[in-house]
Structure 1
Amino acid sequence: MSENQTKFGVLIKAGLAEVHQRELPEIGDNQVLVKHEACNICTTDYGQWMGLREHQPYPMAGGHEFAGIVVKKGPKVVGDFEAGDRVAVAYSFCGECDPCRHALTSECTQVTNEPTEDGYYGAFGFSEYSIRDGRVLIKMNKELSASEASFLEPLATVVKGLDKLRIKPLETIIVIGAGTMGLVNAQAAKAYGSRVIVTEVMPEKIEVAESMGLEVINAGDCNPVEKVKELTDGKGADAVIIAVGANIANKQAFEMVKKYDARILYFAAGYPAPELKVDSNFIHYRKMELVGTYGADMKDFFTAANLLNKKMVDVSKLVQCTFPLSEIQEAYKAASTPGSYRVSVIL
């Protein structure tokens, strides 16, 4: 396959992924040609494959958690990128609209979900090659595997959430759920100096969390709310990060936090949508903060790159298995299996 052509994975409909081929445009002055090495299958990706996110269009050439190698760059690319550098990719942004000018690049009004000229939607992460604006590329440590470097985007979304949660060193933070993003949240919060306690019911996930040196409550063997109170001398947690979209997680979070000035971060979405049943007076009198988070801005991507490149967050145990692009259908099946960690497509 030449550099001006690429094979890529695409969802034709729910449950059906294929490999297609297309021509790449000429590289622009401010652009970089990237040879993709790996792209991890995100919850959004396999959620659409399972038919749970039918609000997204087809054909979907998705995949946004990817890393690759610089092949060549345009003459006006700013930055010290050289051929052979490993890079991962942040979200596209215009840099000129009001949100971008206020550093809220994830809210850029000029980035739209329009199809390409050949009719595809998505970020083309499951692609052998792509052309990217130089300003959305971040250099990654080559000691990381390509699949590990592909965690830049999910870790950036965690950094965004922790920033909104305003966690401090020595605070006690509860993370509900030891799935991929629960453990990324837990490691990042620990890197920030907090005491982190993870709650989980699945034995396999508890084992992985403990192997990372995390403090874990087996919620299948005890009442996790009572255990949190026991481990905090009856005070409760300073904050809870809900990393699984479930009714019971929403309920437990309110019961785990301290009496006054507690914060709850709603990190995970769930399909069907979880319910939140709470008396607003409860929030009022206890001076609680309920915080939503989604996506990441460029500053979050740079912080995430530092955490990964310096190995302050170790995602090596979160890459469950790999598949070649030719087996992308099987990769989606593996990724959608309950209890799975990240499945990586090698390109």
Structure 2
Amino acid sequence: MKMMLPETCQFGCLVAQGKMEVRTLPLPEIQPDELLVKQEVCNICTTDYQQWQGLREHQGYPMAGGHECTGIVMAKGEAVEDTFNIGDRVAVVYDYCGYCQACKQGEVTGCENIQQFGKNYSGTYYGIFGFADYFVRKAQSFVKLDTDLSPSEAAFVEPLSSVVQNLNKLRLRGGIDTVVVIGGGTMGLLNAETARAFGARVIVSEIMPKKIATAQAMGFETITANAEDPIQAVKNRTNGRGADVVIVAVGATIANNQALQMVKAKDGKISLYAAGYPAPEMEIDSNTIHYRRLELVGTYGSTLADFATAAFLLNTKRVDVSKLVEKQFPLGQIHEAFVCASTPGSFRVSVVMNQPEEKEEGK
């Protein structure tokens, strides 16, 4: 019997600051190079809820947002060979043209022809419809995930890919480097977990008890930054030397300046991983960078190779994100999901599609 395929999708849409709606659109016919995916989960990223808070209104309305999503392949075009099959679990890669200079170098999040949060699927809506229960995309815009992973864990491919890029740029030395991560939120602990998988010693500096408890449950050394001097604590734990690498995973001026004092005196590296609104500052002059041979590393986005590595790390459980899932909400409660996700101290919140309209707690 031929499977009945959906003709429409329901999707979460941000129509104005603080206002989420669930809307319906017809699904397009599947083209030869496309997949129809029954989307299971989309996690709410900081980018998503900051626009909901009115901090990123430059991204545009109405925003059919969400990009940390995963689902099951329901149908595929005739040009898609055995790379993907019906029943595979997949996660979304950003859309890209494949032939511009950036794409030729694998820098798909910098595609020159497809805007990352543009109107790529609709003349009306911005975004890539991560909060849709069904969606049709090009097969090149997916990576395959293990069906043993929970959907909420599988949805970490996109944020993990950006962490992989960050750590590759930092050139971590397994068994040698001590890494301090400032900020124990989702992305801070994801950086910490991945740095440990790369072989580094990792220390997490944080002020919120809940985040400190989660970091400790994940097996990390921690510094309670409002109970002890975090700079001196790092020096004490590194025999006065300082950290080889500091990853600033919270967008704040105080964190940037702490990093300058935590990192070792010469040949240290600081990753400015997190953006902040308003933009954080950093108190440093070029002579200091020069004489300390200091590396200030900026990172944003991911390459195709980063997405593949992220999928591998999740599939093999080398990176375990199970403790970074806060709660789950059905699509019909997407407003409540955004309230939860934007509450200080929250980890990732999942919007669950194709599920009964009941709130589920995942942690």
TM-score of the alignment, normalized to the shorter chain, above 0.5? yes
Q: Give the conservation status (yes or no) of the 8 Å contact 1:99–1:107.
A: yes
Matched with 2:114 is 111
Corresponding position: 1:240 with 2:265: no
Pick the aligned partner of 1:39 from 24, 42, 51.
42
Q: Which residue of 1 aligns with 2:278?
A: 272
Q: Which amino acid aligns with 1:303?
A: T
- Separation in structure 2 between the aligned mates of residue 321 and residue 221 of structure 1, nearest angstrom: 29
Task: Provide the rounded CA distance (Å) in 1 between the counterparts of 2:223 and 2:233.
Answer: 7
Q: Distance in 2 between matches of 1:123 and 1:115?
A: 7
1:137 lines up with 2:114 in the alignment: no
Structure 2 residue 348 is the aligned partner of structure 1 residue 345 = no
Q: Note if 1:169 corresponds to 2:174.
A: yes
Separation in 2 of the partners of 1:15 and 1:115? 23
After TM superposition, the structure 1 = structure 2 runs for residues 79-158 of structure 1, keeping only pairs within 5 Å, are 79-112=82-115, 113-114=118-119, 116-158=121-163
Counterparts of 1:314-325 in structure 2, within 5 Å, are 314-325=320-331
Q: How far apart are the structure 2 equivalents of 1:167 and 1:124?
A: 35
| Separation in structure 1 between the aligned mates of residue 106 and residue 352 of structure 2, nearest angstrom | 33
Q: Does 1:225 align with 2:228?
A: no
Structure 2, unaligned runs of 5 or more: 354-363
Letter in 2 for 1:66: C
TM-score under structure 2 length normalisation:
0.94
Q: How far did 1:194 drift?
A: 0.5
* Partner SS state of residue 219, structure 2: coil
Task: Choose from 276, 288, 291 the match for 1:285.
Answer: 291
Alpha-carbon separation, structure 2, partners of 1:215 and 1:79:
44
Measure how far apart 1:4 and its partner are: 1.8
How far the C-alpha of 1:2 sits from its partner, in A, is 5.5
Counterpart amino acid of 1:223? D
Q: Is the contact made by 1:30 and 1:78 (CA closer than 8 Å) also made in structure 2? A: no
Letter in 2 for 1:41: I
CA distance in 2, matches of 1:117, 1:344: 24
Tell me how far 1:115 sits from its aligned partner: 5.8
Residue 11 (structure 1) aligns with: 14
Once the two structures are TM-superposed, the CA of residue 137 in structure 1 deviates from its matched residue by 1.1
| Residues in 2 aligned to 1:95 and 1:286: alpha-carbon distance in whole angstroms | 40
- Residue 330 of structure 2 aligns to which amino acid in structure 1? P
Question: Over aligned residue pairs, what C-alpha RMSD do you find?
Answer: 1.2
Q: Deviations over 1:199-247 (max 9, x none)?
A: 0111111000000011111112110100100100011111100000011
Residues in 2 aligned to 1:261 and 1:8: alpha-carbon distance in whole angstroms: 48
1:214 matched to 2:229? The reply is no
The equivalent position to 1:304 in structure 2, one of 297, 300, 310, is 310
Contact kept? 1:78, 1:134, Cα under 8 Å: no
2:68 aligned partner? 65
> Residues 85-108 of structure 1, C-alpha deviation per residue, up to 9 Å, x if partnerless?
111111111111111112222211
CA distance in 1, matches of 2:48, 2:81: 31
TM-score by length of 1: 0.98
Secondary structure in 1 matching 2:57 = coil
- Once the two structures are TM-superposed, the CA of residue 79 in structure 1 deviates from its matched residue by 4.2
* Rounded Cα–Cα distance in structure 2 between residues aligned with 1:294 and 1:33: 29
- Measure the CA separation in 2 of the matches of 1:213 and 1:293: 26
Pairing partner for 2:209 from 199, 203, 217: 203
SS of 1:55's equivalent? helix
Whole-angstrom CA distance in 2 between matches of 1:75 and 1:288: 52
What whole-Å deviation, never above 9, does each CA across 1:99-123 have from its counterpart, x for those lacking one?
1112222211111223644501101
Conserved? CA contact 2:121–2:128, under 8 Å: no
Distance 2:247 2:233 in 1: 16
Letter of the aligned partner of 1:325 in structure 2? L
Distance 1:105 1:140 in 2: 20
Identity %: 54
- C-alpha displacement of 1:133: 1.0
One-letter code aligned to 1:72? A
- SS of the residue corresponding to residue 214 of structure 2 reads helix
Tell me, yes or no, if structure 1 residue 159 matches structure 2 residue 164.
yes
| Contact 1:13-1:59 within 8 A present in 2 as well | yes
Deviation (angstroms), 1:78: 4.3
Q: Conserved in 1, the CA contact under 8 Å of 2:250 and 2:276?
A: yes
